[in-house]
A and B are shown apart, each in its own frame.
Chain A
Amino acid sequence: MTTLTLSRALNEGLRKALEDDPKVLIMGEDVGKLGGVFRVTDGLQKDFGEHRVVDTPLAESAIIGTAIGLALRGYRPVCEIQFDGFVFPAFDQIVSQLAKMRYRSLGKITLPVTVRIPCGGGIGAVEHHSESPEVLFAHVAGLRVVACANPSDAYTMIQQSVRSDDPVIFFEPKRRYWEKGEVDTAGPLAGAQPLDKARVVVEGTDVTLLGYGPSARSAIDAALAAREGGRSVEVIDLRTLAPLDMETIIASVRKTGRCVVVHEASVFAGLGAEIAARVTEACFYQLEAPVLRVGGFATPYPPSRLEEHYLPDLDRILDSVDRTFGY
């Protein structure tokens, strides 16, 4: 076990992926000499060369579009989109091409492309640097959408994503980049939790709290605080957003009878809405309260001096947890 920051764990995972498969490429803006604006690709160009770690022109659509072409040629590109709010110029290539080409080709084409996107707020940034666009991708058939929440998962999930023959949209919780955790860099990847499985990170009996990406940590903090108040909160880190691991979620809610979903993205038509619908259908007779959602408002992401009010913090999460006991 080694103690790594989440950012460093991603770096080690990418290094392993580059070592394991000569077809793996990294491409994006400032990923080479600079090592990425968050240093996730630090040192990789120096060790693997400019043909495998490619500083690209500033054109997001082209980053994805040419990655598709490279994948058609047998390569396995890992694209970095510098910030969440910059992914939209690439949206057409992701939605209309990357996601659909396998279907279009009747299975003859495989596009093993990973798109890394730092996401979420809480770093005091200017506009377009704090967004949570995951549900826009989760809605698109043909993509797998995942979010890592801690250094250990960052290390394994990025490698699993690179190995996936399906395109993966990989969300990284940017305000957690510097949080440290234990990472087993010696263990075999085969033993890791599968990419399409959620994980129960805190066991509890009274209410199920679901989080992912940056909100997984918030959910754990809320569970620890609630425990002091005598409530036993079970926390699930979703990890996979598309597909959802409903099996794990349903098993938990059938046990607890209550469910709260937390995410930074706007609650309206967010992932929580889909989860609430599915939990209601599967756990109708076990539910003691409606599934509640806590997250961003139906507004654009606010200026950073207001973001602490916008982000679902400990108090707002606990407030929602409490409300499930009021029915």
Chain B
Amino acid sequence: MTVSVDGATTSAPAEPIQLLTPEGERIEHRDYPIDLDAAAIRDMYRDLVLVRRIDNEAIALQRQGELGLWASLLGQEAAQVGSGRALRPDDMAFPTYREHGVAWCRGINPIQLLGLYRGVNHGGWDPEEHKFHLYTIVIGAQTLHATGYAMGIQRDGADEAVIAYFGDGATSQGDVNEAFVWASVFNAPVVFFCQNNQWAISEPLERQTRIPLYQRAHGFGFPGVQVDGNDVLACYAVTKKAMQAAREGQGPTLIEAFTYRMGAHTTTDDPTRYRVASDVEAWKLKDPIERVRAYLVRSGQAEPDFFAEVDAEAEKLGVSVREACRTLPDPPPMDIFTNVYTQPHAIVEAEREQFAAYLDSFTDSFTDTAAGTAAGTAAGTSLADAEGGAR
């Protein structure tokens, strides 16, 4: 293809891979046959609904002051569940901070995601246990970690692959472009999964690129494919094929999942300042969950009872997430000093001792709560009081 001076493409980009239309019609694609039976598709529907429920609950918890922040995945459920379910248990995933749907597929307890956004830790899960790395907040940095991890797989001679998640904004980052170069020249088994939700906070896709993102892969020397990011079956099939190619030594693939960020960038954002409501309305018609529901109903693969059960399960999950979040204890203050280094570090140790002595100088002993396990939010409150009194 060629690009003219004003940036318009002179050859029409190919249509995104789609296996399920927004109306719920199943389309066969010769390159992407799928191996999912009715039960597996129902499971995916369930994943989509539960993930959206977690997201809704988290937004509400932020509004109630229980979370400091939340980055909603609304609209991107299919891209995340489709790609997440396409991974083998021993494949490794490197997420951004919005991959709650992938986290769900990798067996992460939602409360661990909420813990990060509540501020009790920076990421509480074991990345190797779940084969799901910690959330990375600096845009695009994780694509290099994914590529390095894939280079490790090559050296181990293992039958595994890596998937790196990022967004359209990240494609402008140097790290992402460096990751493309490295993965290409080393032929690393890594799949770059770009959820193009068309917005980098307030900046539209046009500020990041003049060509469709998937076409960039060609310049780096590996295949790029665009998939309907709101089609869970297409995201599943395309990811599965790319991961298999990576495992077989065919190197990286760039997948551009074309989707739309239905909500705000995060709970601190106000999208009414930079985009029109009619765009959002148009994308509501392409909802990733409704089309699966329509397909299951129309093809007779699910009874009304099934949908009622999923809804009831979602409600129950919402309640448990809410309760667990509200009772998440604040960490004890002395935790500040733990896990900075593997071996004792003279400066950190000295400051730890000084701070412990300082806390102990108050009537209420905070190091006692540090030693205990049931610190709870009460410790946080009394610490704030203590600091106020010290001024």
Contact = CB atoms under 8 A, between A and B. Distances in A.
Given A69-B146, A105-B134, A97 B141 contact: yes
A62 B182 contact: yes
A298 interface: no
B150 A103 contact: no
A305 interface: no
B322 interface: no
Contact of B179 (A62, A109, A165, A244): A62
A21 to B, nearest CB: 13
A51 B181 CA distance: 18
B144 interface: yes
A145 B143 CA distance: 26
Interface string A187-199: 0000000001000
A51 B134 CA distance: 27
Nearest to B138: A96
Nearest to B143: A65
B121 A68 contact: no
A65 B143 CA distance: 8
Nearest to A247: B346
Given A104-B123, A108-B126, A61 B146 contact: no
B261 interface: no
B152 A69 contact: yes
Interface in A55-89: 56-57, 59, 61-62, 64-75, 89
Interface in A87-116: 89, 92-93, 96-97, 100-110
Interface in B286-322: none
Nearest to A242: B347
Interface in B323-360: 338-343, 345-348
A64 B138 CA distance: 15
A290 interface: no
A61 B174 contact: yes
B182 A59 contact: yes
Given A107-B338, A108-B126, A244-B346, A65 B152 contact: no
B356 to A, nearest CB: 18
Contact of A65 (B121, B123, B178): B178
A200 interface: no
Contact of A66 (B136, B182, B341): B182
A141 B340 contact: yes
A276 interface: no
Given A92-B138, A96-B138, A65 B181 contact: no
A243 B346 contact: yes
Given A65-B145, A69-B145, A92-B141, A75 B346 contact: no
Contacts of A103: 122, 339-340
Interface string A236-255: 00000011111100000000
Given A57-B182, A65-B148, A104 B122 contact: yes
B152 A75 contact: yes
B144 A74 contact: no
9 shortest A-B CB distances, which residue pairs?
A69-B148, A65-B144, A73-B152, A66-B148, A107-B339, A62-B178, A69-B149, A165-B342, A104-B122
17 contacts: A57-B185, A62-B179, A64-B144, A65-B141, A65-B143, A69-B146, A69-B152, A70-B152, A72-B133, A73-B151, A73-B153, A73-B156, A75-B155, A103-B339, A104-B123, A106-B121, A106-B338
Interface of A: 51, 56-57, 59, 61-62, 64-75, 89, 92-93, 96-97, 100-110, 141-142, 144, 164-166, 196, 242-247
Given A69-B152, A97-B141, A106-B124, 14 more contacts: A59-B181, A65-B141, A69-B144, A69-B148, A69-B151, A70-B148, A73-B148, A73-B151, A93-B144, A102-B341, A105-B122, A105-B127, A105-B134, A244-B347
